């Protein structure tokens, strides 16, 4: 696929930053667990990240009123570079009595990430022609999932040869390289609607979503799908492997890896057959949701480890066959100047819902059993499919425009 220089810089810069993100999180979790010996303290890292990204998604619209999108994105990576350098310099003084300061740094990095994500998604339809938009989204998702899948293994393996401090310095270098690439982007014309009060700036995206029949459906689908997806967090999956499958611990990693491989396969499928998918957005969104639902039911009922690998792979595939067309719908359903605030709104909905859903699924698993939460997940995905089916006319019309 021939894409322009700006998209290449954007994709490469964000990919380098994503590699750095994984290495940095691996380093932080390792440091905290080695220092405290507490799994709870280590598990607090993703909680701090999710909470900070939720706050960032709420506040980012105010920054978009003041800064060019290119510089907002590049500035977030420059800020992360500075924070990682500060972390590397401070690690020699880390002790059991002062380690909580790490969570402040984690939160600051997550706030910058929460700002960068919606800006990146908003820049893609600006830098890419509409007929290549689904291909661009597919390529972006493919690289993102490949990085997520590979770098957790690479990061943990690097700790065999490198200290956590050295890994943090490498991460700072990657963020610096990402900053240089993103600075090379062409500045874009972005004129947001004038909002005089801070509350108006924050609420602009929420108003856009609530006023659009397409975006309201997608927001509701996102809420239900996010709740359903909480069963795939490490803690829930570990309990399922142990109690429902009665399998050894390594199957926990196998099943998790199979799910991510499914995400990659789904992304590659969208990349390969983008023209066909672009003409049938509503069908793929509906089909992705309904087959994800069926595969989740089968996963929850199953007690054979090998079949669990297959079903988790299938869930990953159809999740992407729904999500990539859905992202294309969002990018083409509103005016470009409204996209950043729409993505911050949907991001806030997603992160806020996920934080609550993760806790809820853990409670429900304790009360009703681990299989019950996968049954609930399947039902929620079936509801997502129904909402997509009911709104198919909106999506079909959009695909033909």
Token pair 């940095």: residue: 24
78, 121 contact by CB (below 8 A): no
> Contact, 396 vs 268, CB < 8 A?
no
Average the pLDDT over each of 192-206, 261-275, 276-290 and give the range with the smallest value: 192-206
Give the pLDDT of residue 399.
Answer: 47
Q: Is 37 exposed, middle or buried (0-12, 13-18, 19+ CB in 10 A)?
A: exposed
What would the CATH number be for the domain defined by 201-400? 1.20.1250.20
| pLDDT at res. 35 | 81
Tell me the pLDDT tens digit for each residue of 40-59.
566 577 778 878 887 887 77
pTM for the structure as a whole: 0.71
What are the tens digits of pLDDT across the range 305-355? 999 999 999 999 999 999 888 888 888 877 776 777 788 788 878 877 887
pLDDT of the residue at 98: 81
Asked whether the predicted pLDDT for residue 203 surpasses 70, the reply is no
Comparing 132 with 294, which gets the higher pLDDT? 294
Do residues 21 and 113 lie in contact, with contact meaning Cβ atoms separated by under 8 Å?
yes
Residues 6 or more apart in contact with residue 233 via CB below 8 angstroms: 358, 361
pLDDT band at 3, cuts 50/70/90?
Answer: low
Which of 15-24, 243-252, 361-370 reaches the highest mean pLDDT?
15-24
Local confidence band at 38 (pLDDT 50, 70, 90 cut-offs): low
CA distances 317 to 62, 136, 314, 325, 381, Å, are: 36, 18, 5, 13, 14
Cβ neighbors of 227 (< 8 A, separation 6 or more) are 353, 357, 360, 361, 377, 380
**Delimiting residues of CATH 1.20.1250.20 domain(s) in the chain:** 5-190, 201-400
The pLDDT > 90 percentage for the chain reads 27
Element (H, E) at 182: helix 164-183
At 360-372, the pLDDT tens digits run 887 888 889 889 9
Number of Cβ within 10 Å of residue 245's Cβ equals 19
Fold of 5-190: Growth Hormone; Chain: A; (1.20.1250)
- Average pLDDT score over residue span 244-252: 80
If we measure between CA atoms, which residue out of 217, 168, 157, 235 comes closest to residue 25? 168
Q: What are the backbone angles phi and psi of residue 322, rounded to the nearest 5°?
A: -90, -45
Q: Which of 218, 202, 186 is nearest to 70 (CA)?
A: 186
Q: Is the pLDDT of residue 77 over 80?
A: yes
Please give the mean pLDDT across all residues of the chain.
83
**pLDDT attached to residue 200:** 56
**Residues 181, 50: Cα–Cα separation, whole Å:** 26
Answer yes or no: is pLDDT of 381 > 90: yes
Predicted pLDDT at 401: 47
87 or 160, higher pLDDT:
87
């Amino acid at each position: 696929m021939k894409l322009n220089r700006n998209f290449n810089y954007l994709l490469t810069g964000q990919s380098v930053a994503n590699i750095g993100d994984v290495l940095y999180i691996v380093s932080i979790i390792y440091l905290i667990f080695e220092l405290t010996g507490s799994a709870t303290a280590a598990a607090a890292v993703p909680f701090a990240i999710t909470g900070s990204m939720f706050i960032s998604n709420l506040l980012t619209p105010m920054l978009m009123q003041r800064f060019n999108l290119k510089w907002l994105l590049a500035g977030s990576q420059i800020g992360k570079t500075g924070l990682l350098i500060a972390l590397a310099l401070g690690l020699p003084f880390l002790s059991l009595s002062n380690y909580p300061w790490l969570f402040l740094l984690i939160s600051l990095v997550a706030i910058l990430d929460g700002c960068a994500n919606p800006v990146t998604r908003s820049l893609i339809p600006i830098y890419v022609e509409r007929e290549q938009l689904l291909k661009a989204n597919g390529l972006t998702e493919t690289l993102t999932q490949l990085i997520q899948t590979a770098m957790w293994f690479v990061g943990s393996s690097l700790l065999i040869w490198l200290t956590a401090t050295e890994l943090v310095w490498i991460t700072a270098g990657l963020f610096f390289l990402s900053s240089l690439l993103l600075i090379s982007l062409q500045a874009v014309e972005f004129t947001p609607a004038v909002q005089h009060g801070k509350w108006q700036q924050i609420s602009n995206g929420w108003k856009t979503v609530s006023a659009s029949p397409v975006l309201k459906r997608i927001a509701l689908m996102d809420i239900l799908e996010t709740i359903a997806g909480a069963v795939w967090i490490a803690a829930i999956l570990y309990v399922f492997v142990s109690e429902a499958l009665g399998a050894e611990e390594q199957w926990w990693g196998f099943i998790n890896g199979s799910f991510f491989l499914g995400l990659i396969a789904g992304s590659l499928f969208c990349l390969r057959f983008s023209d066909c998918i672009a003409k049938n957005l509503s069908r793929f969104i509906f089909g992705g949701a309904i087959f994800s639902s069926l595969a989740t039911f089968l996963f929850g009922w199953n007690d054979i480890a090998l079949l669990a690998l297959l079903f988790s792979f299938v869930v990953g595939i159809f999740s992407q066959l729904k999500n990539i067309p859905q992202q294309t719908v969002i990018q083409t359903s509103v005016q470009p100047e409204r996209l950043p605030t729409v993505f911050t709104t949907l991001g806030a909905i997603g992160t806020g819902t996920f934080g609550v859903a993760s806790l809820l699924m853990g409670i429900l698993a304790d009360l009703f059993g681990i299989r019950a939460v996968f049954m609930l997940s399947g039902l929620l995905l079936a509801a997502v499919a129904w909402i997509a089916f009911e709104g198919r006319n909106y999506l079909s019309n959009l695909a033909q425009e």
